[in-house]
Structures are given as structure tokens and as C-alpha cells.
Amino acid sequence: MSPQITPIADTAQDLELTERILAPDGIRIPNPQLDVYVDDVDAAQLRALHRDMVILRRIDAEGVALQRQGQLGLWAPCQGQEATQIGTARAIAPQDYVFPSYRETGVIYARGAAPGDYVRMWRGEEGAGHDPAALRVAPLQIIIGAQTLHAVGYALGIKHDGADEVAVTYFGDGATSQGDVNEAMIFASSYQAPVVFVCQNNHWAISEPVALQSQYPIAGRAPGFGIPSLRVDGNDVLACMAAMRWALAHARSGKGPAYIEAVTYRMGPHTTADDPTRYRDSAELEQWRRRDPIARLEAHLRAARELSDEQRAETQAAADDVAREMRAACLGMTTRPPLAVFDGVYAEPHTGLARQRDEYAAYLATFEGAV
């Protein structure tokens, strides 16, 4: 007899199939499967998670504003996905290596990004907005799903070296339809690579709803590859942290890959080049506003009398400070000379690169003062 799997028919049913610790109104719900992984999280740590999410939302809003003002070529908003990104990223160990997509602003924030790191790539100044070696985060990946293959390759290296590391990769629900993601899962399972797959199911792959491309919960695919999975409420920061701790412990112990589907929602456009009003019902948007991840944790803290108005105001002021620093870093960037695009391509220069550089220099010379 074939297994009975509940299809994703609508948003309400979708949410019923997720594990959570905090309800949308902030009430703590007993969860034997997840509670053990966050029993150590006290009120101070919850306030820190709240602060992280508030700062991330402010960074995201500033990114959108900078793009609209012509300072950035593009921006990929993450409003609504703060709990998924902060909850999972704060569980990752310093020695672990992250392979993100293009929307993981919160992940690079949690890994210690500087103000300019959020905008440098989107401004077109560098191929990577941050120093991958310093943050242990690969450059943001624009090619849908490609980073999952990179993560598995790195994880195979970890296994070969016997290192105490885990590779973590993030991708959206739309990427699960890409061959790269499925190939990555096959390799990870076959070779028992220490890698964690994090699918941020934000319901929309640009203009295609998740129900169109996935008739069943996405987390249900992983066991078919021999990979254990958890499906959690992506707007519950505690559930996301617990799920990541479970997944990391599994991968680090030599048991192979693990998979998390965090069910969340993209409140803004796919990127600033997108207009979601053309394909998305405003009623659905309002429904998800009532599940806001920041408001959820704030309600929990306020009910426990662990977040005062003064603390909330200080957090917002800190967020505004980060946004100001980010804006100043963006506006203060100096574009490198065109030929600098060849710097750092290889560890050692070679004749092929020198030839390309000379050809490009000759081309630039046709534009007066360009070199």
C-alpha cells in the first residue's frame, strides 16, 4: 500500500502540517520533538533573537529604499522571512560553512557582515559583497539552486578531511524544481555528506505559487532520497532554531545530510524588479501579516514581561543606526578601475588572463578616459 501524504490544498492546511513552538499569538506550545533543542534558550536570548529580526527588517527596508533611489541595481527583499533566517543562522557553529541563495541577508548579518557587505554586490562593485573566508559564507548565488551542489561538494571535502564542520545551504521552494537541487540531494545521500538543506518555502517562486509546483509538502521529498526531514513553521524563530540544531547534530555526528522545510511567506516582491500585485491576492498578504514573525516573538516576550517599551525603543534605535551605517557605506563606495575586474581571479597570474586583460584594456582605450 502506498503511503498516505496530505496534499497542499491551501494556506490553512499548509500551516497545519508544520511543527511549531510559538503560536501566531505568541503563546508557547509544548512540542516534545523540538523543545529539547531549545530548552537552554532564556529570556535574554529571546530578546537577542527579537533584536536580530528587528535589525534585519530595517536593513531590508533600507536596501529597498536604496534601490528605489538608484543607488543599487537590484535588491531581493526578505521581509516576512526573518524568523527562518535568524533562527537557523544563530544555530550554526562558527566553523560551519554556509552556501546561500540571493535572499539570505539575515544569514550574512548573523555571520557578522559589515554595513557595506549588504550592498556591495547589489551595487555592482564586487562579485561578492562580503569576504567569504571571514564570514565562512560563500558569495550570494543568483543561479537558482546551484549553491546546493557547491555545499555538497564542500561537505564531501569535510568528510574526506575528517573535520568538525557542516555545510549548510539555503534555497527557496522554487529551487526545489531545479535539477541541481535534486542532484545535490542524491550525492549527499549516496556519500552521507555532512550537509543541511534549508528550504525557505515562502509560497511564491516569483509568480508561481508553491501549490502549483508541489502537490505535496516539500519536506516529504527528502525521505525519498534517504534524507530525514523536518517541516517547521518558518515564522516561529524558536522552531527554526530547534530544527537547525537537530539537523546540525545529525549531520555532525556522521549520519549524513538532513533537510528542513521552513514554511514562511515573502511579504514583498521577489526582487525590486517584480510587481507581486500582478499575481498575488491582497487578502492572502493580509492573512500572513497576522502571522508576522517579529510580532509573534514580541507578543511572547511582552506576555512574560520580558520586553519593555524602553527595550523595544532601544532595539529600534539600534536598527536605525545599522541602516544609517549601511547607507553611508553604500554612498561612500568608490568604483574600482575597470581593469581591476581581473584582480584576484587566480591565485597566480598566467598568460591567458594577461591576454584577456590586454584585450579589454585596448577596448577601454577606445573610450577616452575610461581606463
Nearest Cα neighbor of 224 from 2, 57, 69 is: 2
From the candidates 120, 221, 266, 296, give the one annotated as an active-site residue: 266
Look up 266 and say whether it is catalytic: yes
From the candidates 28, 68, 216, 279, give the one annotated as an active-site residue: 279
Q: What single DSSP character describes residue 2?
A: P
From the candidates 270, 291, 296, 327, give the one annotated as an active-site residue: 270
Nearest Cα neighbor of 47 from 302, 221, 228 is: 302
Contact present, 246 and 94 (Cβ < 8 Å): no
Contact present, 129 and 120 (Cβ < 8 Å): yes
Contact present, 50 and 297 (Cβ < 8 Å): yes
CB atoms within 10 A of CB 331: 12
CB atoms within 10 A of CB 370: 12
Look up 279 and say whether it is catalytic: yes
Phi-psi region of 30 (alpha: psi -120 to 50; beta: other; left: phi over 0): beta
| 189 vs 85: CA distance, rounded Å | 24
Q: What single DSSP character describes residue 75?
A: -
As annotated, the active-site residues are: 266, 270, 279
